[in-house]
Amino acid sequence: MSLPVIAIDGPAASGKGTLARRVAAAYGFAHLDTGSLYRAVGVLLLRLGKDPGDADAAAKIARALKPDDTILTDPDLRGDEAAQAASQVAVVPEVRAALLDFQRGFAKHPPGDARGAVLDGRDIGTVICPDADAKLFVTASVEVRADRRLKELQERGIPAIPSDVLEDMKARDARDSQRAVAPLRPAGDAFVLDTSAMNAEEALAAAIAHIGSKTGLGTRR
């Protein structure tokens, strides 16, 4: 019998990662942040001194990526350089193809004794898990998202110029939603959750209400 899968997609800093972690904890599911896979490919490419636009080198790295590779938890993945490199390697069809089995493997056989899987990214509901039991598309206005990212950077002690953060966010949105392969868009059957005026608790409550209505699943507490 297959285990339940929840797909959570959305643009940068929409809060999908925060929501995915909380949904996974609420249901006792394993969570995969699929952005970290693209970030890992981007960072490894930069460390080899290659250009993030080098499609052949990026595809080779993506094919070799394994679930227990230490790069997947490397703090360098969280930086803006990694985010920009990730969105460049993410346009390469061979990179996306190489990471497909990794993600579907996680959804089908989540690690440990997890009772299901939550995957967050850009194409989970449309490409990776089109048969997911529930799909959410988390969004917020680009200004709200840039403000969240700015606060996050400030909390980490990283200096940032507000207008640069907003422009970077717009550039990544454009690259992610306009690429030819697996562009960022809500699946036809996704529940669109605009968190512009919601805090993380309110977003979680709305997500749980939707997941419950679609699947009949109850949370652990």
Ligand X SMILES: Nc1ncnc2c1ncn2[C@@H]1O[C@H](COP(=O)(O)OP(=O)(O)OP(=O)(O)O)[C@@H](O)[C@H]1O
Residues making up the annotated binding site are 10-18
- Among ligand L45E5XJ5, ligand X, none, what does residue 121 contact (CB within 5–8 Å per kind)? ligand L45E5XJ5
**Residue among 21, 95, 27 nearest 65 (CA):** 95
Distances (CA, A) of 200 to 27, 33, 193, 196: 17, 17, 12, 10
Q: Which residues are annotated as a binding site for ATP?
A: 10-18
Binding mask 80-119 for ligand L45E5XJ5 (x = CB under 6 A): ---x--xx--x-----------------------------
Is the Cβ of residue 46 or residue 153 nearer to ligand X in the bound state? 153
How far is it, in rounded angstroms, from Cα 202 to Cα 184?
Answer: 24
Q: Which residues on neighbouring strands pair with residue 33, listed in sequence order?
A: 120
Is the Cβ of residue 28 or residue 183 nearer to ligand L45E5XJ5 in the bound state? 183
**Residue among 136, 108, 107 nearest 31 (CA):** 107
SS3 120: strand
Residue showing tokens 């454009």: 174
CB of 103 to ligand L45E5XJ5, least distance (A): 7
Q: Which of 121, 168, 191, 203 binds ligand L45E5XJ5 (CB under 6 A)?
A: 121
Instruction: Give me the residues that bind ligand L45E5XJ5 (CB under 6 A), please.
Output: 12, 34-35, 38-39, 83, 86-87, 90, 121-123, 172, 176
